[in-house]
RNA sequence: UCCUCGAUAGCUCAAUUGGCAGAGCAUGCGGCUGUUAACCGCAGGGUUCUUGGUUCGAGUCCAAGUCGAGGAGCCA
């Protein structure tokens, strides 16, 4: 019996007889010669079936195979420059074939399809090579993030998904019935992580978060995965260093571990190779000045036909503003010190200039938008209570949160990183829905 | 919530001013020893999103609705 191997390891078996097990991705029938494109989850390999090299029955069986039929195919691994595949350059010179199931007529063809059709068939679409590549990059991103954090003294702490109150008060939440009491699906684990750091120093949580926003754009999902590190004895400047080191590491890991996937996606890797710390940093004041200078000069938003709109100091950036700012740099750019009034209550105001706070967003290049948002947290209990009251939030749900500042309060900071946005950026794809296997979007949660 | 666009064969699309419903791919049958979304021949495949209206005549024009896409706001 030939050993069963994964297509990814073909190169290590040149000249050997092996068995591949997988599904038929595509087939070309040339009469006495058939080319079977077999995918097994790890890659894609062409199995060549010559009539004279296999039994009558096996040759006939190969002829009956439809797209996505499951099979096992045995043969000799041959290096051949002409062979397509992931990775390319190897093929299987088949000697025998076992059909597991002949698939029904498969709806997705190797050609252009519309979004609606593909989303309706998402359970099948994930088998297609582009989707397969994106989701493998996603796995690498998550693995690399965890590796970096785990090896830099962070402890993984899981935070609750069922929560009694809004963490930030502003965003729309999914309300559920917690045995007669209203509860909400978490939109962040941050407040709990702030408790965790006083026990463990440096922590991160990673899990799904939920936003019931009426957003219907390529940059929004109703359910997305967020990584949230939180660090004790860490100020805003130190936070930015952590972010840029971690993200540079993740990009470089993807470049080495997912070279084949990025090739499938036809991603321009030169722009990713530039993503090395340090990243440029600009103050909110500076960003507003850049935007208004561009607006005055009549510059267009990169990628759009609309001019950059002017904005008054004190407002949050609109989507066109973010796109314009990010396009001025060839690396991700930090924008820090946003106006206090547009940010969450727990952010530390800048000493001596309380109208701005010690917050920072990281904007990805190429129009991929905000991929992290973070800040130095308020560490004085009296100021925190005042902030909660100023935002008209109820005191009771935050009592434990204020408590943290009474027993050994320290300067601390943290941020959240959106996984789907990061994956979309790395893969160069146009919509977040492709960066998660089964996206939840406004008016769409099937399959 | 607002703005813009769209819906025709299983899929992707075409159909001139309102005048016979079309093609490619997929499917079935046949052919082919190097295909890369192969190619060649033959065949089958339609409630033109729904409802109403205008007209001798509507895929095409009008109205309402449904569904989808892109964008704004908000955000990661």
Distance CA A295, CA A283 (A): 18
Average pLDDT over residues A327-344: 93
pLDDT at A417: 96
Question: pLDDT digit string (tens) for A50-79?
Answer: 999 999 999 999 999 999 999 999 999 999
pLDDT digits (tens, 9 = 90+) for A90-111: 999 999 999 999 998 899 988 8
* Structural contact between residues A117 and A54, judged by C-beta atoms closer than 8 angstroms: no
What's the confidence (pLDDT) of residue A164?
83
Band (A446; pLDDT cuts 50, 70, 90): confident
- pLDDT tier at A40 (50, 70, 90 boundaries)? very high
Distance of alpha carbon A218 from alpha carbon A276, whole angstroms: 26
Mean of the pLDDT values across residues A393-411? 93
Q: Is the CB of A214 under 7 A from strand B?
A: yes
Domains of chain A: 7-101 (2.40.50.140), 123-280+329-435 (3.30.930.10)
pLDDT at A166: 57
pLDDT over 90 (residue A246): yes
In this prediction, residues A191-214 reach a mean pLDDT of 94
Quick one: pLDDT band at residue A212, thresholds 50, 70, 90? confident
Q: Give the pLDDT of residue A283.
A: 96
Å between CA of A63 and C1' of B29: 14
Statement: the CB of A446 is under 7 Å from strand B: no
Among residues of chain A, what percentage have pLDDT more than 90? 78
pLDDT at A16 over 70: yes
| Nucleotide minimizing C1' to CA distance for residue A170 | B74
A207 touches strand B (CB under 7 A): no
pLDDT attached to residue A35 = 94
Closest nucleotide (CA of A33 to C1')? B33
One DSSP character per residue, A225-290 reads EEEEEEEES--HHHHHHHHHHHHHHHHHHHHHHTHHHHHHTT--HHHHHT--SPPPEEEHHHHHHH
Q: What does the pLDDT read at residue A171?
A: 57
Q: What letters, b where the CB count within 10 A reaches 16 and e where it falls short, cover A59-95?
A: bebbeebebbbbbbbbbbbeeeeebebbbbebbbebb
Under the banding of pLDDT at 50, 70 and 90, the label for residue A300 is confident
């Amino acid at each position: 019996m030939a050993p069963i191997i994964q297509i990814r390891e073909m190169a290590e078996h040149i000249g050997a007889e092996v068995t591949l097990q997988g599904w038929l991705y595509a087939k070309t029938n040339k009469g006495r010669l058939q080319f079977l494109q077999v995918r097994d989850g790890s890659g894609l390999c062409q199995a060549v079936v010559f009539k004279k090299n296999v039994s009558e029955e096996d040759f006939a069986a190969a002829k009956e195979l439809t797209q996505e039929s499951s099979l096992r195919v045995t043969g000799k691994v041959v290096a051949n420059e002409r062979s397509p595949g992931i990775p390319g350059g190897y093929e299987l010179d088949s000697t025998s074939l076992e059909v597991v199931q002949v698939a029904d007529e498969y709806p997705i063809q190797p050609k252009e399809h519309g979004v609606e059709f593909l989303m309706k068939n998402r359970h099948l679409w994930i088998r297609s090579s582009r989707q397969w590549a994106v989701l493998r990059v996603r796995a690498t991103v998550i693995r690399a993030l965890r590796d970096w954090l785990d090896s830099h003294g962070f402890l993984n702490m899981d935070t609750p998904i069922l929560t009694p109150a809004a963490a930030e008060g502003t965003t729309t939440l999914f309300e559920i019935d917690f045995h007669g009491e209203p509860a909400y699906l978490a939109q962040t684990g941050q407040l709990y992580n702030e408790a965790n750091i006083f026990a463990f120093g440096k922590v991160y949580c990673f899990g799904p978060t939920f936003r019931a926003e009426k957003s219907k754009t390529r940059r929004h999902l109703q359910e997305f995965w967020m990584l949230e590190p939180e660090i004790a004895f860490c100020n805003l400047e130190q936070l930015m260093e952590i972010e840029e080191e971690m993200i540079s590491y993740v990009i470089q890991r993807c470049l080495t571990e997912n070279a084949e996937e990025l090739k499938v996606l036809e991603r321009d890797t030169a722009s990713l190779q530039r993503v090395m710390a340090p990243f440029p940093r600009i103050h909110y004041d500076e960003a507003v000045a850049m935007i208004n200078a561009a607006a005055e000069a009549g510059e267009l938003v990169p990628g759009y036909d609309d001019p950059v709109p002017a904005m008054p100091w004190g407002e949050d950036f609109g989507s066109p503003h973010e796109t314009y700012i990010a396009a001025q740099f060839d690396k991700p750019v930090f924008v820090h010190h946003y106006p206090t009034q547009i940010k969450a209550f727990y952010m530390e105001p800048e000493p001596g200039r309380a109208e701005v706070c010690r917050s920072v967003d990281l904007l990805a290049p190429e129009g991929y938008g905000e991929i992290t948002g973070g800040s130095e947290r308020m560490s004085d209990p009296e100021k925190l209570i005042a902030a909660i009251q100023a935002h008209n939030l109820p005191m009771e749900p935050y009592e434990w949160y204020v408590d943290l500042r009474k027993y050994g309060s320290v300067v601390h900071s943290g941020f959240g990183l959106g996984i789907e946005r990061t994956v979309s950026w790395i893969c160069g794809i146009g919509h977040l829905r492709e960066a998660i296997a089964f996206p939840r979007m406004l008016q769409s949660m099937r399959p």
